[in-house]
Amino acid sequence: MAAGPDVVTEALADIHRRLGALDEGEPAAYIPELARARREGFGLALVSMDGHRYQAGDAAEPFTLQSVSKPFVYALALAELGLDEVGRWVGAEPSGEAFNAISLEQGTGRPSNAMINAGAIATTALVPGATPAERFERILAGLSAFAGRRLDVDAAVHASEAATGDRNRALAYLMRGAGSLACDPLAATDLYFRQCAVRATAADLAVMAATLGNGGVNPVTGERVVGERVAVQVLSVMATCGMYDASGEWLLRVGLPAKSGVSGGLIAVSPARFGAACWSPPLDRSGNPVRGTAALRELSERFGLHLMLSPAPAAPTVVAWPSAGTARRRGAFAVVAVQGALDFTAAERVLFELERGTAGPVLLDLGRVTRLDTVARVMITATLVRLAAGGRRVAVAGEVLPAPPDAPWERLGPDGDGPDRAGAEGAGPDRAWAEGAGPDRAGADGADADSAGPDTAR
């Protein structure tokens, strides 16, 4: 059951109660087994970045993932091969067409993106494995890691899909003929049918969505499933392509990366906040669940989750600085005292005060900093080096900033002890900033962060 404040569970229950009466749309009929789904079935679930779980309605009822599997298998391919290699086979542009459309790029034969059927078949074919069985086991293990428990396959749905999947086979043969499918079309489509027939619940999907929102770390199990950069890449494609030909309208009105499936599943991700999921079989004309779409739209509006909303004002990053007349001094040093979590935005404020708000010896007090991300660390390190190279006397208090052996700043203790030369206690500064690289060298291959522990997620 739910953990944490009851207000979240109450909000889900209220949405479930009111939208449960919504009786529009029809369950998918082109796959006979899906047409047998309970029309009235409706479940909602939400998982926070702390692993707190909330649900309402039929959140524990199993159903097959169908297209909701696509972003997670795309993540597995990106983690194994990297964005550049995957991008040779699958694009990242919205198709503006239905999920089963023939949407191949002229000249290359690449599908438009990994969220439509053609792109998903091509992506599934990229998952490494010596045999089809080995490939599928990697897919199933990956989906299970996202969910935090071992998932299984609905054999009846798989058989039903295989019996009615000629259009998907035709897409595979077209891609093979164009040179944009990496393996045999029949093997690729059977693997894709099995992937779509993996069974989960709305509660599972909320955990899977939260794992993407948590930078690739499952917030319930603590396991890193994919690297943070891979999670960002997947969420980017979900935001622009995840709701098929209704993706633009969804992003405009709901403002969250999302993915739907014809079994009635729907996930949405509020990065660094939570993952949400719905299940309700009746679909609209775009193939998206009617109740699920309405529920997540209301959830976004109620809690102010649209990606484009400005964040709420946070506590000030710099709490004492000379240019505001709040300077403290420690001996010869003017003090710039900093607090909270430092990212690019917060680090820029710190750099401004260090470079323009002070003159003479300066002490950067990081004792109240709770987190220093890679970009902020590199920016601050480079600024301290610049100040010292310009003849300024520079010191740092607090242990959050690693120092290279040749660091040109002094280390002061919390009570002004020292100075002692910073150095032996830290690894060298990350040179990625100077080289123009991003904060996570999962970069070109997207895979190196997979070995990192769960504590690196947020």
Contact by Cβ (8 Å): 121, 192:
yes
C-alpha distances (whole Å) from 185 to each of 3, 14, 158, 176 are: 46, 46, 17, 7
What one-character DSSP code corresponds to residue 215? T
Check the annotation: does 117 bind a ligand.
yes
Out of 127, 160, 244, 362, pick the active-site residue. 244
For residue 439, is the peptide bond before it cis, meaning its omega torsion is within 30 degrees of 0?
A: no
Q: In sequence order, what are the residues at sequence separation of 6 or more whose Cβ sits closer than 8 angstroms to the Cβ of residue 337?
A: 318, 319, 320, 321, 328, 365, 367, 368
Catalytic residue check, 67? yes
Contact by Cβ (8 Å): 216, 275:
no
Out of 67, 69, 270, 280, pick the active-site residue. 67
Out of 157, 207, 217, 262, pick the active-site residue. 262
Catalytic residue check, 70? yes
Check the annotation: does 168 bind a ligand.
yes
Check the annotation: does 288 bind a ligand.
no
Catalytic residue check, 192? yes
Out of 48, 54, 68, 70, pick the active-site residue. 70
Contact by Cβ (8 Å): 4, 283:
no
Check the annotation: does 192 bind a ligand.
yes
Check the annotation: does 234 bind a ligand.
no
Q: In which residue are the tokens 């919390």 written?
A: 414
Q: Of how many residues is the chain composed? A: 458
User: Distance (Å, rounded) from C-alpha 92 to C-alpha 26?
Assistant: 30
Nearest partner of 318 among 338, 289, 332, judged by Cα: 338
Catalytic residue check, 280? no
Token pair recorded at residue 166: 């000629």
C-alpha distances (whole Å) from 402 to each of 352, 399, 423 are: 21, 7, 8
Catalytic residue check, 262? yes
Contact by Cβ (8 Å): 138, 125:
no
Residues catalogued as catalytic: 67, 70, 192, 244, 262
Annotation: binding site:
67, 117, 161, 168, 192, 244, 262
Annotation: binding site for substrate:
67, 117, 161, 168, 192, 244, 262
